[in-house]
Amino acid sequence: MVAIRCLVVCLVCIFASAVASSAVYKWVDDNGQVHYGEKPPHDDARELNLRQGPSPDAQLEDRRQRQQKLLRAYEEEREVKRRQEQQAQRRNAERQSYCRRARVDLENARNSSVLYTRDDTGEKRFLSKSERRQYEAQLEAEVQRYCR
């Protein structure tokens, strides 16, 4: 896409400079259709008086400045996209890590005969059946959240 835009800009600039340096004629054919061109097919064509643009040096400098501005804009756009892709990759890697951890925790909880937590004093407190179901449901929710 960028290459196409640059090509179009270059072609327009080349065409504009070529047109500015040559005479343009206007004529009407036998069918009444109006034509424009650099070489009239007959003497009935009249030369159009086109406004002369700025000097070639000024045009060249102006074109160079526009090209540089366009190139800077494209470079900034590429840099923004690169950063966004890196952030997306980091978030994806982090999500996959959380997914693996949640699946391991859920599998361990399902395969354990008893589950416990530690209270403030560091003593083991075994989970009741309802607390265990609640804990497993919490782990299943985490798996659903991170492993989509």
Q: What is the DSSP string of the chain?
A: -HHHHHHHHHHHHHHHHHHHTS-EEEEE-TTS-EEEESS-SSTT-EEE-PPP-S-HHHHHHHHHHHHHHHHHHHHHHHHHHHHHHHHHHHHHHHHHHHHHHHHHHHHHHHH-S--EEE-TTS-EEEPPHHHHHHHHHHHHHHHHHH--
Higher pLDDT, 11 or 85: 85
- pLDDT tens digits for range 6-57: 666 666 666 665 545 567 777 788 888 877 777 777 767 777 676 666 667 7
Domain boundaries, the chain: 122-148
Q: How far is CA 47 from the centre of its chain?
A: 47
Sign of CA dihedral 65, 67, 73, 78: negative
Alpha carbon distance 76, 133 (integer Å): 52
Q: pLDDT at position 21, please?
A: 54
Residue closest to 135 by CA, chosen among 123, 126, 146: 126
Query: pTM of the predicted model, to two decimals?
Result: 0.47
The segment with the largest mean pLDDT, out of 42-46, 82-86, 117-121, is 82-86
The vertex-70 CA angle with 67 and 72, nearest 5°, equals 110
Residue with tokens 């951890």: 101
